[in-house]
Structure 1
Amino acid sequence: MSSSIGSRRFLQAPVLPRASIRRLAIFTQGRRIPEEELFRYNNGRFLVNEEYELAKRYSSFDVKELCKRVSSLPDVNSPIVTITKKEGGYNKALLMKAENGATVLAKIPCRNIVPPQYGTASEVAVLKLVKTRSRIPVCGVLAWDADPSNPVKSEYIIYEKSGGQQLTDVWNNVKESDRVILIRSFAKFASKLANIDFPGYGSLYLRDGLPSALRQSGRTIDVDETYCLGPVYHGSWPGGFAADPEEYARYSGPWRSLSDLGAALVEQGLFQVKSFKTSHSGRGPHYGTPQEHIDILQTAKRAISVLANSPPLLRHAHPILCHPDFHPGNVFVSEDDPTQIVNVIDWQFTNIMPRFTQVRWPLFLAPPEGYRTGMSSPELPPQYPENDSEEHTVDSKKQAEALRTKCYEAALVKTHLESYLALTETDVSIRQLFTSCSSTYREGIIPLRDSLIKIFQNWSRLGLPGSCPYSFTDEEISQHKTQIEEYREWLKLREYTHELLRSNDGGWVPPQVNFEEAQAKHRKLYRNFLHTKRDKTEEEAKKLWFFRDRG
């Protein structure tokens, strides 16, 4: 049964009085807007390629039909009177309030960014599974439709309205003992997800809500009578969203074994290079020629063919589901008790992948420099004299961060030892090998080559069988050391530039920043950067800058 049929089991939409439709008020960022602005992106500006970026995020739909659809829900059953738009990079979130006070959240994906049908169908399946199998608090799905030919003329998901307040709004004011309770809850959540068994790797779908292309025999792997695994689609996969998904379906899963997954990851990277796909963020030094990308990916293929069958890695390769972007902005807590988590949001693009690539430190609990895992406790900072209070404050902050990380580590050991071991026993270079193969077109060849060199140098120490199936000469390793230092310096400068401009890799600047001032800073930083690259032509230097014009 299609998602369109499955999502229309509710009551027939009532016929709204004309006056109710005329009364509809639409808002964003505290101001009233006309209907057309509902479709446009207005949550910030872009330093480069703005016309292109705004066009990607433009998504029209039938507002009247969406209001009818929401009004027809048993949980609402009343005409919609206000819509408040909140916007992300991939979707438009619409807070819809009815005449009787009922409020729901409708999400409209940006059709030029989110993969057609697959993204919506998979997210709904994940939310239903997480809600019923893990007991993690998530919004219930009231209705959905992954077929853009429906009356709304767009895919959509309608959720229950989230209660509580974002953890980002209160984290700095939460007392330390309450932070400890929250951190332990985060580890428990990760453990609950890791305890759900899957027969392979891929994205989750409802068996009775599959996109039409996945209803053919052999396209999915059954999980149980309700769920199945299907292909993973997201923007960095071969061809991007502009391509025909079937053109690269053979690289997008699902996969029953780690060796099949690893081989597909390499093929994705090769497809990107051979299709001349490129990144329009800064490339970084020593990006590599197309042939160098192909050569390093072929080397990665030889490494993965051995690693994917080695007992040390297979021990940590169990397929698990993991939240893709766990941070305080996606956590809602009770307004009365900040230790009580009431909702975890943003499950879009959640996949089932190997434990050793999935389990990671939450971004805001990442280990500070010098942190050691295990039974050791973070060392207390030295006592500084009063006139050195600034240094003492910085050190105390690092100490507090280390203690919170240690709290998460201890909680993970207690709640799910297998995840903890996957996090701490898997060598970083092996993890990076699997996660870098499909994205050399974006990151360049340096990160992947660094992983391969470290694996080559430590093959025996890593407990891998036989001898390494590839090699690097002393001269190649020496050259790489020089190049990776330049690459790391470039990464530091990029991070510093983003902080100054309050931007990201795509040149996005948030709405609370004065855009004209950001543009002026950007021009000045760019001129200074070119001045430091006098050993290169302007065209060569432009490719190293962090924001590149598509032209």
Structure 2
Amino acid sequence: MASLDFPAYGNIYFTDARIEDASLKIPLEDGFCIGPYCSPLFWNCGAGEPELYGRPSSNRGPWKTLSGYASRLIDTAFTRLPNEQVSARDRRPFRGSVEDHKRLLKICHKTMQMLTQDDRVQKAALPTLIHADYNKRNIYVSPNDPTVITGLIDWQLSCIESAFIYSQNTPDFAALPDIDPSEEDEDGTPKGRDEERLLKDLSICHQTYDVMATYKCRKLRPSRQLDSSLFRLFHYCFTSWRDGASAIRQELIDLRTLWPKLKLPGSECPYSPTKQELAEHAGQFEDFETMQKLKMWLKISMQTTSDGWVPNEVWDVAQEANRAAYDEWIETAKESEKKGRRRYDRRESW
């Protein structure tokens, strides 16, 4: 699939699909065409985000150019900003104000448009179709020979995307394990011979997948050989409100640092923060990283994925871990409140 060529970004439809606007059908071949995206990204109907339901981006493709695709990502980001009074939960310091997000998204748009003019980015953005969730739970194998794949499920998020959207994804069977920082030795290696042996085995799987994805998939190769900072705005600009202004601001700061080194289009990065902004950002980004550490700790404790998926065989254990984490979190919050502390430890609560 990764070797197929496509004339645009979008989803594949039958030629006679009931798409009202015929201009949204880009001919493919053999009775098929490329039409608007079906991804929740452009429909704002992802699980866990009910406040966004019914607020889709006005333009869901398809797009023949990377520039058009990038513009619609920014449009989607704007549709995810609250248009009503912001709740207390959404006033966390690292979240930033709605005005902060509007300003940063405009800078993101200008920056992304400049990036799309770079030949290296263009080569790394070829329209590509592969499985979007290629993890163990979606792969069926023969009960007699587990090396024989008999089927793949969960195709609903697969779209014709820019190659760099797929290139940084590593399936769980080839990913290095998440390690709880509290269980590491001083040199950063996990304790115990069993853990070291497991890490070595997984490292072999990781390296093998990396070689295959880089050198066997010609479309993925350009982006895998470039600095990932070039593409992170395309990955995360539309989640700016969910992740917080400090997260997208850090991406811009990283890109600004790399701009001269990578000889990107234009004399300099469009983002030019003031000293005061950088000073405020330092504290806000620390809060954001604390939240990410909390999420990582929860994933490890409950043996779950970032989307909350838990295998049947560890469900009971995960429920117990969830209850224990919740109880500990509440106690930590109570103790910290008594001491008048604003920040807690890695189980930080606002």
Q: TM-score, normalised by structure 2?
A: 0.79
Q: 1:329 to 1:519 in 2, by over 3 A?
A: closer
CA drift at 1:545: 4.8
CA drift at 1:502: 5.7
**Could you say which residue in structure 1 is the equivalent of 2:274?**
473
**Could you say which residue in structure 1 is the equivalent of 2:175?**
366
**Could you say which residue in structure 2 is the equivalent of 1:343?**
151
Query: Which amino acid letter does the alignment assign opposite residue 439 of structure 1?
Result: T
**Could you say which residue in structure 2 is the equivalent of 1:524?**
327
Q: Report Cα offsets for 1:108-161 as digits up to 9, x if no partner.
A: xxxxxxxxxxxxxxxxxxxxxxxxxxxxxxxxxxxxxxxxxxxxxxxxxxxxxx
Instruction: Tell me, yes or no, if the aligned pair for 2:28 and 2:34 is still in contact at 8 Å.
Output: yes
Partners of 1:301 and 1:277 lie apart in 2 by 25
- Tell me, yes or no, if structure 1 residue 400 matches structure 2 residue 224: no
Q: 1:516 to 1:217 in 2, by over 3 A?
A: closer
1:297 to 105, 108, 128: 105
**Could you say which residue in structure 2 is the equivalent of 1:307?**
115
Any stretches of 5+ residues in structure 1 without a counterpart? 1-192, 370-388, 538-543, 547-551
1:261 to 55, 69, 78: 69
- Tell me, yes or no, if structure 1 residue 412 matches structure 2 residue 213: yes
Instruction: Tell me, yes or no, if the aligned pair for 2:39 and 2:159 is still in contact at 8 Å.
Output: no
Question: Which secondary structure does the structure 1 equivalent of 2:170 belong to?
Answer: coil
| Of 407-416 and 278-287, the range deviating more from structure 2 | 278-287
Larger % of strand: which? Answer: 1
- Tell me, yes or no, if structure 1 residue 328 matches structure 2 residue 120: no
Partners of 1:197 and 1:279 lie apart in 2 by 46
**Could you say which residue in structure 1 is the equivalent of 2:25?**
220
Question: Which secondary structure does the structure 2 equivalent of 1:229 belong to?
Answer: strand
Q: 1:532 to 1:264 in 2, by over 3 A?
A: farther
CA drift at 1:311: 1.1
Larger % of helix: which? Answer: 2
**Could you say which residue in structure 2 is the equivalent of 1:272?**
80
CA drift at 1:275: 3.6
CA drift at 1:528: 2.6
Q: 1:318 to 1:309 in 2, by over 3 A?
A: same
1:421-460 counterparts in 2 under 5 A? 421-425=222-226, 427-460=227-260
Q: Report Cα offsets for 1:474-519 as digits up to 9, x if no partner.
A: 4433443333233222211222234445667787877742798567
**Could you say which residue in structure 1 is the equivalent of 2:94?**
286
Q: CA RMSD in A?
A: 3.6
Any stretches of 5+ residues in structure 2 without a counterpart? 179-189, 343-347
Identity rate, percent: 25
Query: Which amino acid letter does the alignment assign opposite residue 240 of structure 2?
Result: T
1:55-70 counterparts in 2 under 5 A? none
**Could you say which residue in structure 1 is the equivalent of 2:45?**
240
Question: Which secondary structure does the structure 1 equivalent of 2:283 belong to?
Answer: helix
Q: Report Cα offsets for 1:392-417 as digits up to 9, x if no partner.
A: 43333222222221112222344224
Query: Which amino acid letter does the alignment assign opposite residue 206 of structure 1?
Result: F
**Could you say which residue in structure 2 is the equivalent of 1:89?**
none
Partners of 2:34 and 2:295 lie apart in 1 by 38
Instruction: Tell me, yes or no, if the aligned pair for 1:266 and 1:437 is still in contact at 8 Å.
Output: yes
Runs of 4+ in 1 over 6 A off after TM superposition: 241-245, 277-284, 503-511
Q: How many residues get paired?
A: 327
CA drift at 1:461: 1.4
Q: 1:451 to 1:244 in 2, by over 3 A?
A: closer
Partners of 2:211 and 2:245 lie apart in 1 by 36
Q: Report Cα offsets for 1:145-178 as digits up to 9, x if no partner.
A: xxxxxxxxxxxxxxxxxxxxxxxxxxxxxxxxxx
Instruction: Tell me, yes or no, if the aligned pair for 2:118 and 2:265 is still in contact at 8 Å.
Output: yes
1:116-135 counterparts in 2 under 5 A? none
Q: 1:290 to 1:235 in 2, by over 3 A?
A: same
Question: Which secondary structure does the structure 1 equivalent of 2:23 belong to?
Answer: coil
